[in-house]
Amino acid sequence: MTTLPVAMEAQGLSTRTYGLVISLNGLVVVLLQIPLTRWLRGRRHGQLLAGASLLFAAGFGVTAFAGSAALVYGLGVVIWTVGEMVFAPTSAAAVADLSPSHLRGRYQGVFGFGTAAASFAAPIAGGIVLDRAGGTVLWAACAAVGLLAGCAFAVLRVDNSAATRQARREDVAGRPRATDLRGTTGT
């Protein structure tokens, strides 16, 4: 969201207005974190990740049409914040569930590195797109990525049931299976 204040300023909105809009992020987290966490418990990771990605798409899509309307920017922030609240804990849990127990730290490390790399690259890429193509294109592209990610998560069907987790950790002979990041297995 490093390009949001720049995009809003380009539309003639003040830094004060940006501050009010982005404060909605914190307000939504404070108000919804506990009830949302309770609601998420026990639900399938794939469905939650798909839904969160679609919320990102909707929030960024709304932002593409905001123009100089601070309320529309605010609506976009509220939508993608809910998506963020669903995505962050679910993605970490999915990585833990998909990884063999003895490699869980390595999988989480790679996942964390990917998140950090994206946090580094996104402001640069977003700034270039905003500068060369404008805010509407930037937010529409973010919405398209969210939509594609939502479809991918829906198709991948990430299952976090206990039976599926156990089956992933055992081979056909019923022996525990060790898998490293290269995809090789050993017993």
- Contact between 56 and 147 (Cβ < 8 Å): no
36: which 2 tokens? 């949302």
> Given this model, what pLDDT does residue 156 score?
83
Point out which residues pair with 170 in neighbouring strands: 176
Q: Which residue has the higher pLDDT, 186 or 115?
A: 115
Instruction: Show the DSSP H helices in the chain as ranges.
Output: 4-10, 15-40, 45-64, 70-98, 104-133, 135-156, 162-168
**Each residue of 85-109: pLDDT tens digit?**
999 999 999 999 889 989 999 999 9
Separation between Cα atoms, residue 14 and residue 119, nearest integer Å: 25
Burial class of residue 164 in the structure, from the number of CB atoms within 10 Å of its CB (0-12 exposed, 13-18 middle, 19+ buried)? middle
Separation between Cα atoms, residue 60 and residue 73, nearest integer Å: 9
**Each residue of 58-92: pLDDT tens digit?**
999 999 999 999 999 999 999 999 999 999 999 99
**Each residue of 116-158: pLDDT tens digit?**
999 999 999 999 999 999 999 999 999 999 999 999 999 887 6
* Residue 102 DSSP one-character state: G
- Contact between 11 and 132 (Cβ < 8 Å): no
